[in-house]
Structures are given as structure tokens and as C-alpha cells.
Amino acid sequence: MHLKLTQPLFLILLFFPGVLSAQQSVKEWFSHPALSAAAMISEKYTPQDGSFKTSTITMLRACFGTEKDPFKVTLIFDIPTTRFLTLEAHWQPLPQIGVRVGLQKMLFMTETTYAPYMLGMVGFSQAASYLGGYSNDITGISSRSRDVGIVLQGSFFPTGHGVPRLSYAFGVFNGNGNNLIDNNRAKDIHGRLIFSPVKGLRISAGFMSGYYSPVGERRPDSHHHTDEDLACRHRITGGVWYESQKWFFRSENVYGVTDGLRSDGVMAMAGWIFKPRLQLAARVDHFQRNLSDPLSGSTKADLCFTHRLTDDGTIFYSIQYGHTFYSDPNVKGLDAIILCLSIAFLRTL
């Protein structure tokens, strides 16, 4: 299976002419884009060694097409890296079936589909960081949980509260992320199912299966390699998510096999909105890097207070305290205090 998925702009242009409605000209479609910008600045202090670490995220977003249009194009540009994070075209002629093409978020994890300013915490869980394609991923591939691909998606059994009972997504991806660090001919497949039995509750299941070019030293398990000497990268996830106006609960488990290394991570987070602009959230997550080594685990506990300075939540600051416990008794735990400021702007021309 050698699909040519490395040209998202070409694919967008290929789909574009046939999906705009006859009553809507290209000029009209482009005349009212939804434009937004988001920036997050965080400062992390570690008392054990007195170190400070600054992290910044700055993104520009443009979305062409409205909710009534079956065809939409979304672009998200990351200013610090001068690289597109999203460059996708979405065609949804029917609720039951649609197509998404281009550079987009990977499917298999629910947590990583949330934008950083929508998490309720500062930063992703250990499972998402180590198995979800971010900077700490054990493959050595940092793709911001994004890849180039073609996704078939849809939903069934609509409800009165806007969330369908069942939704699905299945895609074929290049497997080389958004920076070509893993540029080979092997494709990855992703899939996801979300079941919503009652309002606010979602039960999710996802998977990813593919291969990558190992970065640095290979792990010994040669029978997982392909003819191109690629290593396997498989993920299975399951999650439960509940959200209401006053509180939310999110939990997800991720099991991964990375070139024969079996890993597992689980996260549970609960939050309480005790005033319209004030929120308190707690998260506990455990990650076992090597299931064959009981000393390779770490458990992280975080408590985060968020104050939204505007009614729409576009400007807020968070103060978070966290402590990491290690299974190895010879490794001391670490504390971390994080102060984060987030600003988002949205405008429809």
C-alpha cells in the first residue's frame, strides 16, 4: 500500500472544484473566513534544582467555509517553527460519510485531539507525551501528534443535544509526521469509534498500526522489522469522557508496542467549575515505559487552578503544581510549579 499522501495542497485543489455548492461562488466562499490566533506562554520551576523552563506556543488559524457548507478548508500555522500544523480539506456531504484530506491530527487518542488551551491542565499526560507523537515520544519522533493522510469519517443516530450516538473515523497516513523526520514508504492506519449513550458522556476506542525508521539505537526485536528495516509502532486506546456545565471527568488508557518494547499509560482527570470563571482540576497519570521492568514506571499527580479573565474564556491564566513519583527507589521524586498565560482571538470577516 504505497499511497502518495505527501502533497496535501494538490489533494485540496483536486477536491475543491466539485464540492462547492452551485449557489455559492468561490469568491463568496473565501469572503468570510474564520480567523483566529492563540498564544500560550508558560514558565516551569523545579524546586529540586532551582531551574526555570519557558515554553511558548503561538498559532495562527484560518477556516474557510461555514457550518452549512459541506466543504471546508482549515489551516493552522505554528509561528515558532514556521511550519503548518494543519492543512486539511474536509468534505461532509452526509452525516454518515465524509472525507478529510491533508495534514491533520492523528486519530487514535482522544486526549491529543484537544487543543492545549482546552485541556483544563497545563500540558498533556505522560501517556500522550510518550506514546502520542510529541517531543518525549519513545520513538524519537516529534510530530505534534500530526500526520498527512486521508480519513473516512461519519456519524449515526443524531440526538437533540448535538452529539450523535455513534461516530467513526478511519484513515491511512504517511507515517512521517509534519516534519518528514520519519520519511519512508510504510503507511500507518488509524481508527476511532466514539459512543455517546447519554448527554455529556462519550466512550472511545482507537488504534494505530504502522512502522517507523528508528532514531538512534535500535531496540532488540528484529522480527518486527520490515524489508526496509523499519520498526513497528502499534497503539490501542480506550477512554471515558464526561462533561457538564459544572464539572468534567476524563480518563484514557494507552497500550503501545514500539519495536518490541511494550508500554502502557493511564490517565484520570476531574475538574470542577465552582464559579463562572474559576476552575479547579486534578489529574493522576501513570506510565510504565517497559512492562517487563517494574522499576521503569512513573506516576505524576497535578493540581491546576484556572482563572478565566473573559466571559468567553479566550484569556486566562493557570497555576499548576505537580509531583512525579518514580517506581525506582533510587530515583528521587520531582516537584514542578507552572504558571501559564493563554490568549486567543477569534474574528469572522
Higher-pLDDT residue of 105 and 10 is 105
Q: For Cα atoms 90, 196, 111, give the angle at the middle one, nearest 5 degrees.
A: 65
State the chain's mean pLDDT as an integer.
84
Residue 280 has pLDDT above 80, yes or no: yes
Q: What is the pLDDT of residues 183-192, one digit of tens each?
A: 677 889 999 9
Domain count, the chain: 1
Q: What is the pLDDT of residue 172?
A: 93
Q: Are strands 297-308 and 166-173 parallel, antiparallel or unpaired?
A: unpaired
Asked if pLDDT for residue 246 goes beyond 60, the answer is yes
91: nearest Cα among 192, 32, 20? 20
The answer on pLDDT for 10 being more than 70 is no
- Domain presence at residue 128: yes
Q: Which residues neighbour 198 within 8 Å (Cβ) at sequence distance 6 or greater?
A: none
Is 304 contained in some domain?
Answer: yes
Residue 13 lies in a domain: no
Instruction: Judge whether residue 42 has pLDDT over 60.
Output: yes
pLDDT at 184: 73
User: Range with the lowest mean pLDDT among 66-70, 235-239, 268-272?
Assistant: 66-70
**Nearest-angstrom CA–CA distance, 299 and 277:** 30
Check whether 134 has a pLDDT greater than 90: no
CATH at residue 157: 2.40.160.10
Higher pLDDT, 16 or 339: 339
Average pLDDT over residues 168-172: 95
Taking the C-alpha atoms of residue 203 and residue 251, their distance in angstroms, rounded to an integer, is 10
- Residue at 11 is within a domain: no
pLDDT at 242 over 90: yes
From residue 150, alpha-carbon distances to 12, 101, 110, 333 in Å are 11, 5, 18, 43
Please check whether residue 169 lies inside any domain of the structure.
yes
pLDDT for residue 67 is more than 70: no
Full residue range of the structural domain in which residue 126 is found: 87-348
Question: Given this model, what pLDDT does residue 23 score?
Answer: 46
Residue 206 belongs to some domain of the structure: yes
Residue 119 within a domain: yes
Residue 231 near residue 218 (C-beta atoms within 8 A):
yes
Nearest-angstrom CA–CA distance, 237 and 145: 15
The whole-number pLDDT of residue 312 equals 82
The pLDDT of residue 39 is above 80 = yes
The pTM of this model reads 0.84
Parallel, antiparallel or unpaired: strands 201-212 and 34-46:
unpaired
Query: For residue 20, what pLDDT band results from cuts at 50, 70 and 90?
Result: very low
253 pLDDT more than 70: yes
Please report whether residue 275 resides in a domain: yes
pLDDT given for residue 228 in this prediction: 63
Q: Give the C-alpha distances (Å, rounded to integers) separating 151 from 12, 55, 89, 173, 345.
A: 13, 32, 10, 8, 29
